[in-house]
Chain A
Amino acid sequence: MMKKTFAVAALAAVMIPAAAFGQARDQIRIVGSSTVFPFSTAAAEAFGRQGKFKTPVVESTGTGGGMRLFCAGVGTGHPDMTNASRPMTKSEFESCAKNGVTDITEVKIGFDGIVLADKLGSAKMNLSRKDIYLALAEKVPMNGGLAENPYKTWAQVNPNLPNIKIEVIGPPPTSGTRDAFVELVMDFGCKDFPEIKAITDAKARSQACSKIREDGAYIEAGENDNLIIQKLNTSPDAIGIFGYSFLDQNKDKVQGSQIEGFDSTFENISSGKYPVSRSLFFYAKNAHVGVIPGIKEFITEFVSEKAFGKDGYLTDKGLIPLPDAERAKTRDSSVSMTKLAM
């Protein structure tokens, strides 16, 4: 009995000093947005391939989750960088500062388009953001007030659209793509209706704009965009919402709809003509430079022309590059690690 008790105690003792080797780290750690994940990992791999530094570890935690981890403090126990599919908010910046993370570099890496696509061979849609809002909102403006969404087909929303059932497969509310879709499409599409303008309470107004119907016309497909593409293939009338990189990889299966008359092409998103696109960022902790090897070199790799440039390998992965002048500016400010002020 004694021998065994001892063995148990020894095991418990082994587990605690394990804490001691948690400290040294020679590998960059990146957390954050799942939208930036494909680009961040591609850059990390290319960086690791050069063989001087270890390949950074990239975790996909979502923008908000990444910010929380990033802002938790300075030191090797905390990540060095976080990816974001939106700029850092003021409150996140303050929570960072409270934990001693005051010296941050912000790098804007490019754009990501959100596309609405359907199966190849189906009717190609030309939608406006107003149409999309009317088709997908839970309550729509009608006769001076808000009413339960009565629209069943696209033709009811706008007579110019084909007479097919409204069936949209998109991301769930937990997804960053959904947030961006609501902000860029729904909020924009609703703002000109007099009924919406008449709502004085800001909270109720944004609720009216951004609440998506739950009567089966909008189908939440989970966070897997490949799944949405698979579903589009089996239901020709459905429209899917996902990131541009998935359209780019599946052009032999699906076609992007036009929005406000513009195709969701690389050129249109890049020039800003295609309206549903957002900027992507990453943030780095300047205090970790020199502590964790390779941070500066990794940033340099990320903002090099062969990575996030027009013909870079990140554009092959579906990133829409910044305009030339902005790219040069970003490169200067990020390589010199200019401190973010807010």
Chain B
Amino acid sequence: MTDIVERPQGVASRGAALGVHATEEAQKRLKRRYASEWRFRAYGLTAILISITALAVLLWSIVGQGYTAFTATTMSLTVTVDPALADPGGKRAQDDLRTGDFQGIARAGLRSVFPDVKERSDLRALYTILSNGASDAIRDRVLDNPALIGQQITVRIPVASDYDMYAKGFAAKTPKGGESRLSPKQIAWFETLKADGKIHSSFNIWFLTSGDSRQPELAGVGGAIIGSLLTLAITLAIAFPLGVMAAVYLEEFAPKNRWTDLIEVNINNLAAVPSIVFGLLGLAVFLNVFGLPRSAPVVGGVVLALMSLPIIIIASRASLRAVPPSIRQAALGLGASRVQVVTHHVLPLAMPGILTGTILSMAHALGETAPLLMIGMVAFIVDIPSGATQAATVLPVQIYLWADSPERGFVEKTSAAIMVLLAFLLAMNAIAIFLRKKFERKW
């Protein structure tokens, strides 16, 4: 097409040869066609630009809100472990030590930093700087080494969420007529501690290792990550072998008749069933009939396996179909049995595609909450699960629960948990791409 335009128009002999292509209408038509091509490209480019902008805005708002959750404001506090508070019984037994008033010890430590604060209401306001984590930190130290009782120790403790928010600059301005979460006095105390070098900002390791909490400064995604991993392990263990097996049978062995057609239609339909339906099935069958425990990753894993099974079957069939028939014929021609053809040749060649499909369906399962709602995994669970039958929650559920919490500190935690979930999804997709690039064969 381009050559036509580039031809010199003035040459008479050429003009005669070009004939109909050189007329004025032809030039106009040509112009229109170019314009329409240009428009078509512009539409495509706009579509891509819109999606990129949407993605960028989404990521920007999540990262912008959430990155601060990866740092924690901590305070070093020197306390005297008063035997009367830590172990009133004096027996130094572990069980007695557990119930000691360690928050009282932390409070006494804070009082000694501010000896001028005497008023009861002021003291109450001062104590709000201590997180519930303070008593835990001291208790853990004392349980490890009861000899510390009576001595002076320095602990690093997280500050309460309101102060954490203040330190991170979220609570800076308050509109007229509003009440700030912190009084000017409380802010002054905090600034004093800061000036004394007692306030630190460090990487928030708790956020990645601890379980859920009602105190934003103590809440972490550790429990949810473990729960997600347990659930996905079970999903994978069930869905992968079943899915591949079903695909191999349907693709390599099954006769083509009405029954296999019916099965195929049903698999495709099943892939489009809303995920909540699988949750209802899990509730009715696994909980009510089999009596499996509520909120357990084992049930969540089975439910998600049922959900991802059709997707794995479809992906596996597609990649089995992509193996050229010549491979099968060659193997059969050399005397291999049909099982040998499948296990020695077809399946290994199709594996990269199958694994890619499986990983993508796992990534899909990782982001599901709806089916887990029905089987009780949408719950407040503090203890980190140590097995697949223990109560656990998963990452997207954790995000949902935090998004619904009144405490201000959970806003950044919600976004940070989304970032963790996105990191997992990115890692899984990266593995899928790597497998495809590394092992894919082109014929």
Contact = CB atoms under 8 A, between A and B. Distances in A.
Interface centre among B174, B293, B408 (most CB of A within 10 A): B293
Given A121-B177, A226-B406, A45 B241 contact: no
Interface string B284-300: 00000011111110100
Nearest to B143: A51
A15 to B, nearest CB: 7
Contacts of B171: 252
Given A18-B292, A22-B293, A27-B391, A245 B383 contact: no
Interface of B: 95, 98-99, 124, 132, 135-136, 171, 174-181, 213-215, 238, 241-242, 245, 253, 290-296, 298, 302, 339, 376, 378-383, 389, 391, 401, 403-408, 411
Given A25-B293, A45-B214, A251-B179, A18 B298 contact: yes
A44 B179 CA distance: 30
B176 A57 contact: no
Contacts of A55: 381-383
7 contacts: A15-B238, A19-B291, A59-B294, A59-B380, A251-B178, A252-B171, A317-B214
Interface stretch (A35-43, A128-136, A195-203): A35-43
Nearest to B211: A55
A11 B290 contact: no
Given A120-B177, A251-B178, A253-B178, A226 B403 contact: yes
Nearest to B176: A121
A45 to B, nearest CB: 5
Given A8-B241, A49-B132, A225 B290 contact: no
A296 B26 CA distance: 92
A223 B378 CA distance: 15
A127 B106 CA distance: 46
B245 A41 contact: no
Interface in A3-48: 4, 7-8, 11, 15-16, 18-19, 21-23, 25, 27, 29, 34, 37-38, 40-42, 44-46, 48
Interface residues of A, number: 56
A318 interface: yes
A243 to B, nearest CB: 8
Contacts of B380: 37, 40-41, 44, 57-60
B405 A252 contact: no
Contacts of B302: 15
Nearest to B290: A19
Contacts of A11: 238, 241-242
B383 A22 contact: no
Nearest to A27: B391
A122 to B, nearest CB: 10
Nearest to B376: A59
A4 B290 CA distance: 26
Given A16-B290, A22-B389, A225-B406, A252 B245 contact: no
Give the dominant DSSP class at B's interface. loop
Contacts of A77: 291, 293
Nearest to B135: A49
Contact of B291 (A23, A60, A224): A23
Given A16-B290, A249-B408, A48 B382 contact: yes
A51 B99 CA distance: 8
A53 B114 CA distance: 36
A160 interface: no
A45 B213 contact: yes
Contacts of A45: 213-215, 382
A44 B242 CA distance: 40
Contacts, number: 133
B178 A60 contact: no
Contacts of A52: 95, 98-99
B136 A49 contact: yes
- The 8 A-B residue pairs with the shortest CB-CB distance, nearest first, are A55-B382, A251-B179, A59-B379, A19-B290, A58-B380, A41-B380, A252-B178, A51-B98
B357 to A, nearest CB: 19
A295 B339 CA distance: 58
Contacts of B294: 29, 59, 79
Contacts of B95: 52
A28 to B, nearest CB: 11
A250 interface: yes
Interface string A98-128: 0000000000000000000000110000000
Contact of B379 (A22, A48, A60, A318): A60
A54 interface: yes
Contact of B177 (A46, A54, A248, A255): A255
B369 to A, nearest CB: 13
Nearest to B244: A4
Interface string A56-70: 011110000000000
Contacts of A223: 404
A59 B295 contact: yes
Given A22-B292, A249-B406, A249-B407, A120 B383 contact: no
A224 B379 contact: no
Contacts of B403: 224, 226
Given A25-B293, A252-B179, A255-B178, A226 B404 contact: yes
Given A29-B295, A252-B180, 5 more contacts: A22-B389, A50-B98, A59-B295, A248-B406, A249-B408
B317 to A, nearest CB: 16
A77 B283 CA distance: 13
A22 B177 CA distance: 55
